[in-house]
Amino acid sequence: MAKAKAKEPEVSLESVVGRAWDAYKSNYLSFIAALLLMGVLAGGLIVIGLLPLIVISIGYAASGAGVAAAFAGRIGEIMFSLLFAAVFFVAAIIVSMALHGGFVAMTVEALEKGKTSVNTMFREGRKRWKSFVGAGLLAFLITLAAILILLLPGLLFILGMMTLIGMMLIVLGIIVMIPVLIYLEVSFSFIYLAVLDGNRSVQAVKASTLFGRKNFWSTFALIVFFAVMAFIAVLLNSFTYVLGSFIADFVIIPLQLLSIAALYSGPKKGAAVKLKRKK
C-alpha cells in the first residue's frame, strides 16, 4: 500500500497572533516610525497639491467682487490648480501603495529575522513599487466594480422614475454586498505578500485570491479579531482621544499586518516569503 501523504501542520490563530506580538514587541519603534513617515509623505503630497486652490480661495475671500465674477476672472488658474491637485493626489496614492508594500516587507523581515528597520520599507517600496501599485490598484478596481454592479440596477430604476423598485434593488444590493466585500477583503489580504514572493501585479492578485480561498476562515477570523480590537480602541476615544487613536494606528494596524504575514508564511518561520537584497 502506498504511504499516506503527510498532512501539513495546521497553523493555529493563537500561534499566528503570538508570533505577530513577539515581532511587534521587538520592533515597535521601527513600525511606529515607518507609519509616521508614510503619513507624512503621502499627506504632504496632498497638501502641496492643494496649495494653489488654497491660495485662490484666500483670494476669493479677500476680493470684494462676487464669487461668480471672481470665478470667471480666474478660470484658467482654477483649471490649472485642479490639474495640479490631481497630479499630486495620484502621486500620493502611488507613494502610499509603494510604502504600504514596503511596510509589509518590514513585517516579513521582523518575523523571519526578529529585527527590521525603516530602511526595509523604503528599499522594498522602491524596488517593487510597480508591482505594489499595480496589485493594489487592480484589487481596488475589482472591489469598485463589484460595488457598482450590485448598486447599478437600483440606480437605473431610480433614474427611470421607478423609485420604489430602485430602492428595493439598492437594499438588496447592499445585503448581497456584505458577503461579497468580506470575500474580497479576505482574497486581497495577501497581495503585497504575494508580490514579495516574486509575483507581478496580476499574478499577485491571483496568488492572494488562491491563498485566501484556501485559508478563508482563518483569515476571516483574524480580520474580525482586529476589527473588534479597533472597535475597543474607538471606545477608548470616549475617555482619551489620543490613547485610542494611538492604539488603533500604531498597535492594531501593525499587529494585523504581522498576523496576516505570519499566516501566509505558515508554521515554519520564513516558510513562504524570502526577502532578498538587490545586488
Could you tell me if 143 and 78 are in contact, meaning their C-beta atoms sit under 8 angstroms apart?
Answer: no
Q: Which set of grid coordinates corresponds to residue 84?
A: 495640479
- Tell me: the pLDDT tens digits for 94-121? 999 999 999 999 999 999 999 999 999 9
CA–CA dist 244, 227 (Å, integer)? 14
Tens of pLDDT, residue by residue over 121-177, are: 999 999 999 999 999 999 999 999 999 999 999 999 888 878 888 899 999 999 999
Band of residue 3 on the pLDDT scale cut at 50, 70, 90: very low
Distances (CA, A) of 221 to 144, 212, 217, 259, 269: 24, 12, 6, 11, 21
**66 phi and psi angles, rounded to 5 deg:** -70, 165
* Of 227, 228, 261, 244, nearest in space to 23 by CA: 261
pLDDT in tens, 73-82: 567 777 888 8
- pLDDT for res 52: 86
Q: What is the DSSP letter of 189?
A: T
d(CA 46, CA 105): 25
What pLDDT band is residue 2 in, cutting at 50, 70 and 90? very low
Q: What is the pLDDT of residue 274?
A: 52
pTM, whole model, 2 decimals? Answer: 0.87
Interval 222-267: pLDDT, tens: 999 999 998 888 887 767 777 888 888 999 999 999 999 999 987 5
**Selection from 80, 79, 52, 56 nearest residue 67 by Cα:** 56
- pLDDT for 278: 44
**Which grid coordinates belong to 4?**
499516506
Please give the average per-residue pLDDT across 190-197, as a whole number: 97
**pLDDT given for residue 271 in this prediction:** 41
Give the pLDDT of residue 269. 44
Share of the chain above pLDDT 90, in %: 67
